[in-house]
Amino acid sequence: MKVAAHLLQAANLLLHPGCAFCGLPRLPGYPLCEACHADLPWLPVEYNPTIAGCTASLSAFAYHPPINNLLLGIKFGKNLRELAVMGELTAVGILSQLPTVPDAILPVPLHTARLHIRGFNQALELARPLAKQLAIPLLTDTITRHKATQAQTELDSNQRQHNLHQAFRVQKPIRHQHIAIFDDVITTGSTARELASLLLAHGVQQVDIWSCARSILRQKHEAGAQIDYH
Ligand SMILES: [Zn+2]
């Protein structure tokens, strides 16, 4: 191929980048092609069990392939392009099911030692497109995580709650009445419960829990319908 042809191809890719997953032509104004969109394990709202203390529980996806692998890859590989795509897709999934708009989003804080090692808080980065599209603030320094908790995935349900007890600390007065806690993945909901009880104890009236993905039984999600990307 001539140099000019290579340049033209590169320019075309920059101007019209393909689907973020497969490279084929994507849907207008959307990071994916129709087939990749349809293949994702979108999670309908009726498959989101409620969590004690939280009014609404919304997750964009079931924690199944390829979402689980993408999230793990982003967390440990710092793939910023995939992180941006996942943030956009999460916003599509959450906004399509949103009953009421909260006053602010609280991404689950990461302990500073872990933040230092990883370089970014995945929950915060995934929540950015949601906050932007809803035009509401992200609360990044209202609550901090002061206990370097053991990775939740290594613990059973009781150990998780004990592990999280008093892990979070309120750093400034909370003025918002309705807050959505945002995490990358919800498994047992113990982190959300701990944060929700802290927010409610500090005068917040309504707490929702949102996430990119949620661990649910495979059969349950597969019985569900797909959602539209619009
Ligand atoms: Zn595709």
Tokens of 4: 């000019």
Specify whether 161 is located in the same domain as 172: yes
Residue 14 is part of which domain span? 1-39
Question: What's the domain count of the chain?
Answer: 2
How many Cβ atoms from other residues are within 10 Å of residue 95's Cβ? 15
- DSSP symbols for 159-200: HHHHHHTT-EEE-S----SEEEEEEEEESSSHHHHHHHHHHH
Specify whether 122 is located in the same domain as 204: yes
Specify whether 95 is located in the same domain as 149: yes
86 Cα: distance to centroid of ligand 1 (angstroms): 14
Strand pairing of 104-107 and 168-170? Answer: unpaired
37 Cα: distance to centroid of ligand 1 (angstroms): 7
Checking if the pLDDT of 2 tops 80, the result is no
87 Cα: distance to centroid of ligand 1 (angstroms): 17
189 Cα: distance to centroid of ligand 1 (angstroms): 32
Specify whether 14 is located in the same domain as 57: no
191 Cα: distance to centroid of ligand 1 (angstroms): 34
State the pLDDT confidence band at 214, using cuts at 50, 70 and 90.
very high
67 Cα: distance to centroid of ligand 1 (angstroms): 14
User: Between these two residues, 99 and 95, which has the higher pLDDT value?
Assistant: 95
In a domain, 227, yes or no: no
Specify whether 24 is located in the same domain as 133: no
Q: How confident is the model over 3-52, as pLDDT tens digits? A: 454 455 455 445 557 999 999 999 998 999 999 999 999 998 787 777 77
Q: How confident is the model over 148-181, as pLDDT tens digits? A: 655 656 666 666 666 666 789 999 999 999 999 9
Specify whether 18 is located in the same domain as 59: no
55 Cα: distance to centroid of ligand 1 (angstroms): 35
Specify whether 111 is located in the same domain as 211: yes
65 Cα: distance to centroid of ligand 1 (angstroms): 15
28 Cα: distance to centroid of ligand 1 (angstroms): 13
| pLDDT at residue 99, as a whole number | 87
83 Cα: distance to centroid of ligand 1 (angstroms): 16
In a domain, 47, yes or no: yes
